[in-house]
Amino acid sequence: MSQTHPFQPSQQEIDRRYRNIRAAMAEQGLDGLIVSGSEYTGFEGAVRYMSGFHLLHRYAYVVVPPQGDPVSVYPKEATWVGDHTATFVEEQVKVPHCGEWIANYCRDQGWKRVGVYGLEFVINVRDYQALVDAGLEIVNFDVAFDHARAQKSEEELASIRHSMAVNKAGVLAVVQAYAEGKTEAELMGVAENTFASMGTARNTMDMVLIGPNGSLLPQMVFADPQRKVRDSDGLLYGLEVSGTGGHWVEFSRLLAPQGLSPETQQLMDAYEEFHALAKEHMKTGASAEDVHRKCVKPFEGKGWRMGHVCGHSIGMTMIEHPRIGEGSEFELVENMVCSMHPHVMTEDRTASLYFQETFQVTKDGGVPLSGIPVKWYRGGEAEL
């Protein structure tokens, strides 16, 4: 019996996804498309988007013809890994060598020019080599695929709001559980317990920034199971999750039990301005580069440096194109969803700030989906 959840896509939603992707295929002149997914955190989402299958282990593909039914392709050793009944793609094959099977399928269909989503980061190297050996003209379809799915439907937005509720619950759990003397990993475990109990499965990506005297060092690291936190620390648990519907969101806030250092307070003030500008400028039709340039102004001219692009599109894959940054000409579409998280640090790298918020693009501007203002916490607060 397959597992069920309230965000299984309707037939109308499935048809919308395939219609948009096939329109992008036609623009690229593709004979067919191979969509790849991997259990690598955040990279499972494209296969789930196109088939409904949630990767538990290894990797999988969806082969999409210009018309007609798609095919899901799994490695044979993963036959009993994951719930293969939880998919809306009827034809499924489980084979010893996915790449060879797909190459033969493409040949039998008479395909020559084939798009691949996941070419830059995801596709299994052995399978890619089989496609090359078959003499196919392989087209990088990563950007086109993400652009085609950038606009979220009402069904997707419901899933995204659920994921945000899960993410916020984990952040609040850490805030409430804080006590001097607990370890970094012990506090992270509180968030993970909340996430798992609310249905994230393995879809979490956790890290921590930590620093002395109410500041944060810029390096993002795993939570340490040995180091005990102190009230004088600055702590930023960077928490990114997808709920049962499979849509990723990012939300975190700063924890500083004894208050912020002067440098961190200045960064926080600039962050507050950044969020206000994101609300103003993340409008339908604005270019991603223009949004970036307008929103990062509070960080300019202060002797600070940027360590990270200020944002990116997000959906069933954790990081989707376009990025919100320089050189990105994509025009934002209504109901696009973006994670915004500029990574800013002092020139000497002794203080930094980085926390996430997920925004919905509307005709009137960006809507922060957490509903939580830009603020910091001392620990033990009853609510965010």
Give CA 110 to chain center in angstroms: 35
Distance CA 214, CA 228 (A): 15
Which residues, 6 or more positions from 83, have their beta carbon under 8 angstroms from its beta carbon? 2, 3, 53, 54, 56
DSSP state of 27: H
- Is pTM, for the whole model, over 0.85? yes
d(CA 174, CA 188): 7
Helix axes 125-133, 98-109, angle to 10 degrees: 30
pLDDT in the model for residue 4: 55
pLDDT value of residue 12: 97
Which pLDDT belongs to residue 7? 81
Domains of the chain (ranges; CATH) run 11-148 (3.40.350.10), 154-377 (3.90.230.10)
The pLDDT, as a whole number, for residue 297 is: 96
pLDDT at 8: 87
Contact 202, 163 (CB under 8 A): no
Q: Which of 97, 57, 106 is nearest to 73 (CA)?
A: 97
Residue pLDDT tens, the chain, 384 long: 445 566 889 999 999 999 999 999 999 999 999 999 999 888 999 999 999 999 999 999 999 999 999 999 999 999 999 999 989 999 999 999 999 999 999 999 999 999 999 999 999 999 999 999 999 999 999 999 999 999 999 999 999 999 999 999 999 999 999 999 999 999 999 999 999 999 999 999 999 999 999 999 999 999 999 999 999 999 999 999 999 999 999 999 999 999 999 999 999 999 999 999 999 999 999 999 999 999 999 999 999 999 877 999 999 999 999 999 988 999 999 999 999 999 999 999 999 999 999 999 999 999 999 999 999 999 999 999
Residue 1 is predicted with a pLDDT of: 40
Neighbour tally for 319: CB within 10 Å: 18
In angstroms, the CA 16 to CA 328 distance is 26
Q: What is the pLDDT of residue 5?
A: 61
Instruction: List C-alpha distances in Å: 230 to 105, 186, 303.
Output: 59, 13, 29
Residues 6+ apart with CB under 8 A from 249: 160, 163, 164, 167, 240, 241, 242, 314, 337, 339, 358, 369
